[in-house]
Chain A
Amino acid sequence: DTGVSQDPRHKITKRGQNVTFRCDPISEHNRLYWYRQTLGQGPEFLTYFQNEAQLEKSRLLSDRFSAERPKGSFSTLEIQRTEQGDSAMYLCASSSSTGISYNEQFFGPGTRLTVL
């Protein structure tokens, strides 16, 4: 299967701990997005990469959140000093800027974070 993958699928942590999530996009996709989704809401944009460059980060995102995409392949999202309000589903999506599926975003299965 060549879809978007995310790891871990579930993470339970205690308040104050750091967590890191990984996303592997569809191999030919140059664009990668991180979103956060809470119950009853649509995905909320966190950050965007085109290849290895982080081109945009939500103003709503605190400094405790950081993301990387070394070499334009997989990406990691780190949350430092987690808070209970960080509990959510963290979604990764990828898309291509060319081709017949131009601009179509495909989501990974998500990482569900629970902060106790």
Chain B
Amino acid sequence: QKEVEQNSGPLSVPEGAIASLNCTYSDRVSQSFFWYRQYSGKSPELIMSIYSNGDKEDGRFTAQLNKASQYVSLLIRDSQPSDSATYLCAVHSGTYKYIFGTGTRLKVLA
């Protein structure tokens, strides 16, 4: 079992819709969770961090964490073509270690 799992996609949504990206993790002691956006050929860009169960909102982005289910998600409201990218989920277990998923490719159709 992979430590951090994401559906590779592509996930296609029409412009203006809500995009829902999901991530599951295997290490129950994980404490910090991060979403990164990565455009083709570029480096990852941090867009959200979440540490506690529940929702965290930042502009059009909402991160959701459920530690009991070992599940973290990212919602993007009013999706724009510029949101088309690969979204990486990263999990930090309290030591040095950050584990990344393979990413979900999002395509927002104009």
Contacts and interface: CB of A to CB of B under 8 A. Distances in A.
Main secondary structure of the interface of A (DSSP, over half): strand
A50 B96 CA distance: 9
Interface residues of B, number: 22
Interface string A70-102: 000000000000000000010100000000000
A110 interface: yes
Contacts, number: 49
B44 interface: yes
A43 B100 contact: yes
Interface of B: 4, 8, 32, 34, 36, 42-46, 49, 88, 90, 92, 96-103
Interface of A: 31, 33, 40-45, 48, 50, 55-56, 89, 91, 103-110
Given A42-B90, A55-B96, 9 more contacts: A31-B96, A40-B102, A42-B4, A42-B88, A42-B102, A106-B46, A107-B36, A109-B43, A110-B42
